[in-house]
Structure formats: structure tokens, C-alpha cells
Amino acid sequence: MEKRKLGSTLSSFQMQMIAIGGTIGVGLFMGSAAAIQWTGPSILLSYTFSGILIYIIMRALGEMMYLRPITGSFADFASDYIHPGAGFLTAWSNIFQWVMIGISEVIAIGQYLQYWWPNYPTWITSFIVVLILGLANLASVKIYGKLESLLSLIKVLTIIVMFILGLLVILFGLGNHGKPLGIGNLWKHGGFFTGGVKGFMFSLSMVIASYQGVEIVGITAGEADNAKDSVIKSIRSIVLKVMVLYVGAIFVILAIYPWNQMGNIGSPFVKTFAKVGITFAAGIINFVVLTAALSGCNSGVFSSSRMMYTLSENGYLPKSFNKVSKRKIPYWPVMAIILGILLGSLINYALPLFFKSAADMFVLVFGASVLPGMVPWFVILISHLGFIKRHEEELVDHPFRLPGAPWINYVALVLLVAIVIFMFFNPETRASIMIGLGFEILMIVIYLIKYRKSDAK
């Protein structure tokens, strides 16, 4: 395989921050509102269950990456251990996923800005923001890594501060005239499992999507210094960190704010603190969820542009997409993704003509990323099965084995399939899953017509 031309300047800390930046975004800050409506307080179990499932997937990826830490890793693994067509589908699924997430981030940015400027044409601001992120990605990997680390750190620190403030409200009545709120809201208003098994399964589709982005560790590996050690450190901690942040944040929200009064519009994080009278905290958190959307776009541009680079290396895109700048940036892929995400500005402007609320737009666009976003997870688990058969000798002393393999792979695959099936049964995600499925079918047809014969040679 051709030697990679990208740089090697990302530290383990920056890899983790990039993954956190791609993961903690609108899926948590805005998507959690819709999921809470479907299942109520049991959303806490949804985040925990999904986190465990994602950890299994990431350990499988880490085991493979330890031997081959390369850019676009899981697309290459799909080609090597399943079929070249699987690598093609995986890479395009990742690109489509991040473009859709980028568009949903743009929609979210517009909603967050309305907190301060209700009548401002927010698509203009969104347009400017995406251009700035494009310039950051074209500057250098080092600058990108520093910017994303800063944005991610802001998110993490804010969630921690929010959790502490929330505990003060719950235990000591901060902002509530000194009257502790307690945690009764977790079982009042219909109980803990308000949506039953069906509602719980419906919520998993939005919650599992909140974890999309952790696999960016597999895309950044080729641009990391001391790649093997960085991969192990990143994967060992990233899922646990994200899961703790998610569960802690949602716990505070559900304890303070009655879930059945939350509605589907806007961020529950902002609503929670506005409700108890801590308006300064609501404003600060609104600013932070705005940076979260910026960070999500930033990670998405990085991730999907590297997948385009990988596709070009493997002959599925013009050679121009394989060219890098003097600063080792694949500039054509970056610009192509930026153009795709900029469509989000137009969609944010046009969709109100067809959908009655921001929540409708958000769930539709963000939900469309779920199935393509899950394709890399399916591929990682299946590739890992081929990997352990092919590398039996090298795995004897492997320091980062997946516990329970190969049986744990099959369990995880069945659970992912179940989540997809329930998305078809949920009226609010059915259109989204059909969009994702339509894209997957289109890419399979394109591969069979254009590339199948050349790959078979």
C-alpha cells in the first residue's frame, strides 16, 4: 500500500479531544430532547447501554489499529478483511454521515443564536461559521488539532460545571429559594420507564447517534505521533469519559426539569437553568452548546475529508483528491466537504417552508446520519472477525485484545440491527432511516456498476 503523505503531529490528548469534539455535539445538547420524549427518565439507561456497546466496537477497532495505525483505518480494514466494496461503502457512509451531522449542527447553530437574537437571519451567521472552520482545516493539522482541543475542552469543562451547579440545585436549592429539588422528577410524571420497551428502543436510535464520532480515533491514527501508544491511550479512556459526561449531564437535567414539560424545541441544557432562575448559567451554556456545534462541524470536516483522501488513494476518486498542500492537508477533500455542509445553511433557510418546527428539521437531518454512521460500526465488528483469524500468531502477545471475542462481536451486531429495525417502526425517524438507506443502496449500485470488475482483477 502507498505510503501515507499526511503529517504526524497529533498527540494522544489531541486525538481524544478530536474524538470528544466529534462526539459531544448536537446529539447530546439538542437531540437528547427528542429522545427524552420517547422514553422519559430511562434515557439514562439508554446512554449507559449505548456506551457499553460503543466500547465493544472501539476495543475491536483498537485491537486492529495497534497493528496497523493508518489514516482512514476502518475503511481500509473493511477492504482488507471483508471486501473492497465494503471499504468503498464504509468510506462514503462516513462522508455522508458527517455532512448530515454538519448540516444538523448548522441548524442547531441557528437555533442557539435565536436565544439572543430571535429575529436575526441565522443562516448568514451559520454560513460565516462554516467558512471559518474550513479555513482552520486548510491551515494545518497542528492548528486544527489545537482549535479542536480548545473547543472540546470548553464543552467538557462546561458539562462538569453544569453537573456541579445541578447538584447544588438538587441538594441545596441553588436558584430555587434554598429549597432542594431532590431527584423525585426521575420517577414522577409517569414513572421511570414512561415509554415502555418500545419507547426505550426508539430512544436508542437517537442516543446511539450521540456517540457517533468516537471512531474518529481510527481516522486520526495516521496523523498521530507515537501512533500505537496514542491509539491505546485514546481508546481506553474516550468512551468512558464520554459516557460519564453524558449520563451525568442528563441526570442533572432530568432531576431538575420535569421531562414531560421539556418539549422538543431547543436545548434542554439551556431550559433547565433558565427554569430554576440561574439565567446567567443558561446564557453561558447556550454559548457553550454553540461552540459544541462548531466543534462538531470541525471534527466532521476533518474526518470526512480524510475518508475522501482514502477513497482517492484506493482509486475511487480522482487523483486530485489525493494531493496534499505544503502543510500536508488534503485540500480538495476539505473544500468538497465544506461545500456540502454549506448546503446546511440553505436547508436551514428553506425547511421552515415545509416543517412546522426546528425539532422537525433537526430530527430529520440528524436522524438521516444514523444508519450511515452505524455502517463503520458494523464494518469494524465484522472486519475484526476476519482480523483475528488472519493474525492468530501476532495476537498471542497483543496488549489490547477485545475481551469475549468473537462471540461479543455477534452480540453487538445483533443489538445494532435491532436499533435499526426500531427506527423503521418509529414514525419520527422512519423518513430519516429511509434517507440513509436510500444513500447506502445508491452507493452499492454505483460500486457494482463502476468498480466491481476492476477490484476483482
Residue-wise pLDDT for 8-20, tens only, equals 556 666 666 666 7
The whole-number average pLDDT for the span 76-88 is 91
CATH number of the domain bearing residue 410: 1.20.1740.10
* pLDDT score recorded for residue 368: 86
What's 223's DSSP letter?
G
Domain that holds residue 326: 12-450
* pLDDT score recorded for residue 404: 92
* pLDDT score recorded for residue 285: 73
Question: Residue 457 falls within a domain, yes or no?
Answer: no
For residues 405 and 381, give the distance between their C-alpha atoms in angstroms, rounded to a whole number. Answer: 10
* pLDDT score recorded for residue 431: 86
> What pLDDT band is residue 447 in, cutting at 50, 70 and 90?
very high
For residues 387 and 428, give the distance between their C-alpha atoms in angstroms, rounded to a whole number. Answer: 38
> What pLDDT band is residue 26 in, cutting at 50, 70 and 90?
low
pLDDT digits (tens, 9 = 90+) for 125-152: 777 777 877 887 887 777 767 777 787 7
Question: Residue 194 falls within a domain, yes or no?
Answer: yes
- Cα–chain-centroid distance for residue 313? 25
State yes or no: pLDDT of 72 exceeds 60. no
Question: Residue 455 falls within a domain, yes or no?
Answer: no
Q: Where are the alpha helices (DSSP H) in 173-267?
A: 196-210, 217-220, 227-256
Question: Residue 4 falls within a domain, yes or no?
Answer: no
> What pLDDT band is residue 95 in, cutting at 50, 70 and 90?
very high
pLDDT top residue among 65 and 414: 414
Percent of the chain with pLDDT over 70: 80
pTM of the complete model: 0.84
pLDDT digits (tens, 9 = 90+) for 244-257: 888 888 898 888 88
> What pLDDT band is residue 265 in, cutting at 50, 70 and 90?
very low
* pLDDT score recorded for residue 19: 66
- Cα–chain-centroid distance for residue 80? 25
pLDDT top residue among 191 and 440: 440
Omega of the bond prior to 333 within 30 degrees of 0, cis?
Answer: no
pLDDT top residue among 129 and 38: 38
For residues 152 and 170, give the distance between their C-alpha atoms in angstroms, rounded to a whole number. Answer: 27
Phi/psi of residue 4, nearest 5 degrees: -70, 140
Report the Cα–Cα distance between both ends of the chain, in Å, rounded.
16
Percent of the chain with pLDDT over 90: 22
* pLDDT score recorded for residue 29: 67
- What's the structural domain count of the chain? 1
- What distance separates the 2 farthest-apart alpha carbons in the chain? 74
Asked if 105 and 127 count as a contact pair (C-beta separation under 8 A), the reply is: no
User: Could you give the dihedral angle defined by the CA atoms of residues 236, 239, 242 and 243, in that order, rounded to the nearest 10 degrees?
Assistant: -120
Question: Residue 372 falls within a domain, yes or no?
Answer: yes
Asked if 189 and 260 count as a contact pair (C-beta separation under 8 A), the reply is: yes
C-alpha cell at 4: 501515507
pLDDT digits (tens, 9 = 90+) for 280-320: 666 777 787 777 777 777 777 888 888 898 888 888 999 88
The whole-number average pLDDT for the span 196-216 is 85
For residues 298 and 25, give the distance between their C-alpha atoms in angstroms, rounded to a whole number. Answer: 11
Report the length, in residues, of the chain. 457
State yes or no: pLDDT of 363 exceeds 80. no
State yes or no: pLDDT of 401 exceeds 80. yes
- Cα–chain-centroid distance for residue 360? 19
State yes or no: pLDDT of 215 exceeds 70. yes
pLDDT top residue among 352 and 149: 149
